[in-house]
Structure 1
Amino acid sequence: MGISAAKRLFAALLVSSIGLLSACGGGTSSSTEGKGGPSAAPAEPAADYAELSPDQLAEKIKAEGAIVSYGMPDTWANYEEIWKTFTEKYGITHTDTDMSSAEELAKFEAEKDKPVADVGDVGITFGPTGKSRSILTAHKNKYWGEIPDWAKDPEGYWCSEYTGSISFIVNTKKVTNVPKSFADLLKPEYKGKVSIDDPMRSAQAKAGVLAAAFSRGGDEANIQPGIDFFKELFQAGNYKPLEVNIANVQKGEIAVGIIWDFNSLNWKDQLHMDELTVVIPTDGSVTIPYVAVINKYAPHPYAAKAFNDFLFSDEAQIAYAKGFARPIRNVKLPDEVAKKLLPDSAYTASKTIKDYAKWDETASKAIPALWEEQVLPEQK
């Protein structure tokens, strides 16, 4: 999962999706310079991992010397701190190549005879896809019992580390009243002031359509209410065709943007703009997980499994929260971290997806087709 539009959707679901939150581009980002090149054959699967003492495991990981990831760059969800903590603990190096969820799985498969990457972070719909293609390793992390059933594969092939929810980022210098719901966005006072990325391409925007559908009684199997909402928004002239990114927010060109909460909260924190506020719509939103996966052919299998365990530890879950991604575990956050996030009560109307296979079909096929056929013709 990366920072490109496909991913960040809290993301490829997501983003997309959902990506959430979820996040992906091309490019390479490294915490350190990687050593340990591709192996010529599928790696030993570390079958004895669970039986090793901490000292024995540390020796195994140090001997591997490196861990390689796809779609987990330093700039996403505070991975810089997460990677730094993990690699320093074991004295190994880390390299990441940023890419979309779909690209991550494709690379796992294409490189199986000469594997490169050990782990990845993907939109939740890609977890079942990787499992069905037999390119992932099952591993139930040490905190498995604390993860909600909807956020993990029963056999351990994928598990959510954090979530993202659709929010509004609002510039109070551009609007008199802060909108609280999708219904509010249809009011005349928001004429030419509501922006969303292109749902034909962006996972984040597709999640925005799903959130609007939830606000009107729809869901992943019935996306038409969300399409109808945006059709009405366009008809009212309230839509402003502008990409919702940090640059446009900083320039004051975004009055109301529909984006992941971890993006909106992060940008508010980075920009130090007092006029920015973040709202989770009260009539409906969607919460989507990103999931951690381990490459079946990981060249550094001990490091891969140890890192997967680490992602669900209190330390890493708090680090995610520092990056404005909501931890999947109910960990106690330091006050200085918690105060930067929205309270749990803000998410009362946010729902999770029940059928991710259906959502995958809806996001990849139905939304792009319906947006082109029904929404775009209404643009003024």
Structure 2
Amino acid sequence: MTVRTCAAAVAILASAGCGASSTEEAAPQGPPVNVRAASMKEGFTSMERLAQAAKQEGALHVIALPRDWVNYGEIIDTFADKYGIEVKELEPQANSKRSLDAAAQLKPDVFDLTLDVAVANASRFAPYKVQGWLDLPDHVKDPRGAWYAAYGGYMSLGYDPRAVPAPASFADLLKPGYKVALDGDPLRSAAAFDGVMAASLQGGMPQPKRAVDLFGKLKQAGQLTDPAHANVIVNWDHLNAARSAQDSASWKVTIPRGAELGAYHVQAINKDAPHPAAARLWQEFLFSDEGQNLFQKGYARPARGEAMVMKGSLDTEQAAKLPVAPGPPVLLTIPQTDAAKTYLGKEWARSVG
């Protein structure tokens, strides 16, 4: 997802060494470490001191991170190996709301959330600005650092080219032969809701009635089904692209012109994180060039992508494998999202079921 950003360089104060006796190892010197600081520079003065503080905590608790979602399996393993920190994976299949509902009991250190959930719960997060803060687009980060976009994607149509031609639009799905599935119930699943919203776009504006009418017609024609029986699945492009990478002969992905719905997932630190230094190190890793390229390896679009292109640190070979978007992303506002959810709550069951 292309974003307008400006590159930034963040000065890192190197920790100074001090003398040590012949029987003691030299320890890095500097201001006292503040594991709940709002930036690496403010709390640790260097990445080395941050990593040391995190390793002393010994663990990181993450929640709602399926290992096959945007390459999180490799991301988690790379972080654990790089810093010698055990990562405990809590409820990988939980959604954003469940992550927060379970926080008091499960005590995760960090969250990966949809934008609307993060905005509504900003008071529950510990502000922290990563070193690449200025590379992130202003409209998808909290000014205080409570939450900030890590990666994004476009809603897409994955399809079986052996069964149907490439759909050029959502309207094409009404043609004979298409068996269409959403990724769940749009009243409960964020991916299914966003799939409906992509179908609703007209002139860049969401029109929920338009989408409900479309899916109602698919239902009446017997063409709306579950993913196991579908030859078209409406889902995020990184999921459809990952499936296509496994077998391009049986699965391809397209982003229809005029339906370029995009969205970001954002990161946040639990205000009550049991491992606050590890939580901050995790964020620095995710937003580093290495972490952003690992997201892209999972077919997501790095939030720092444009700045990385400018300095030559983006994996351009992998970038070329991402599905081609016919236009810039349409990002729903919170009021638009709320209005659409209200409309679907009243009309979906009656018109689609």
8 A Cα contact 1:216 1:226, kept in partner: no
Match for residue 130 of structure 1?
A: 121
1:180 to 168, 190, 202: 168
Within 2, Cα distance between the matches of 1:150 and 1:64?
A: 33
Aligned with residue 359 of structure 1, among 306, 318, 337:
337
**Secondary structure at the residue paired with 1:289?**
strand
Is 1:281 matched with 2:256?
yes
The offset of 1:209, in angstroms, is 1.1
Residues 35, 53 of structure 2: 8 Å contact kept: no
Structure-1-length-normalised TM-score: 0.75
SS at match of 2:124: coil
Contact 2:151–2:301 (8 Å) recurs in 1? yes
CA shift in 2, pair 1:217/1:88, >3 Å: closer
TM-score (norm 2): 0.80
SS of the residue aligned with 2:121? helix
* Residues 227 and 375, structure 1, Cα contact 8 Å, conserved in 2: yes
The amino acid across from 1:127 in the alignment is A
| Aligned-partner SS, 1:125 | helix
- Report the Cα offset of residue 238 of structure 1: 6.0
Q: Deviations over 1:223-272 (max 9, x none)?
A: 2222222233334x262322x2xxx3xxxx422221111110111123x2
Structure 1 equivalent of residue 210 of structure 2: 225
State the distance in 1 between where 2:151 and 2:40 align.
25
Q: CA shift at 1:368, angstroms?
A: 3.3
Mapped to 2, the partners of 1:77 and 1:217 lie a distance apart of 26
Distance 1:173 1:352 in 2: 33
Distance (whole Å) between structure 2 residues aligned to residue 265 and residue 165 of structure 1 = 11
Larger gyration radius, structure 1 or structure 2: 2
Does structure 1 conserve the Cα–Cα contact (< 8 Å) formed by 2:204 and 2:258? no
Q: Deviations over 1:58-82 (max 9, x none)?
A: 2211111111111123332111222
**1:101 paired residue number:** 96
Cα RMSD for the two superposed structures:
2.4
What code does the residue aligned with 2:190 have? A
1:349/1:90 CA distance change after superposition, 3 Å? closer
- Which residue of 50, 55, 58 corresponds with 2:51? 58
- The residue number in structure 2 matching 1:324 is 299
Name the structure 2 match of 1:304: 279
C-alpha distance in 2 between matches for 1:48 and 1:124: 22
* C-alpha distance in 2 between matches for 1:144 and 1:44: 19
> Alpha-carbon deviation of 1:55?
2.7
Cα 1:275–1:240 shift into 2, 3 Å: same
Could you list the runs of 5+ residues in structure 1 that have no partner in the other structure?
1-9, 11-42
Q: Residues 227-306 of structure 1: matches in 2 within 5 Å?
A: 227-235=212-220, 237=221, 239-242=223-226, 244=227, 248=228, 253-270=229-246, 272-306=247-281
Deviation, structure 1 residue 216? 6.3
Aligned partner of 2:315: which letter?
P
Q: Percent identity?
A: 34
Deviations 1:149-172 (A, max 9, x none): 221112211111111211111111
1:158 is the counterpart of 2:157: no
Partner Cα separation in structure 2 for residue 151 and residue 241 of structure 1: 34
**Using the alignment, how far apart are the partners of 1:107 and 1:202 within structure 2?**
18
Could you say if the C-alpha distance between residues 142 and 47 of structure 1 is closer, same or farther in structure 2, counting changes exceeding 3 Å? closer
- Deviations along 1:8-44, one digit per CA (max 9) or x if unpaired, are xx9xxxxxxxxxxxxxxxxxxxxxxxxxxxxxxxx96
| Aligned AA (1:240) | L
SS at match of 1:179: coil
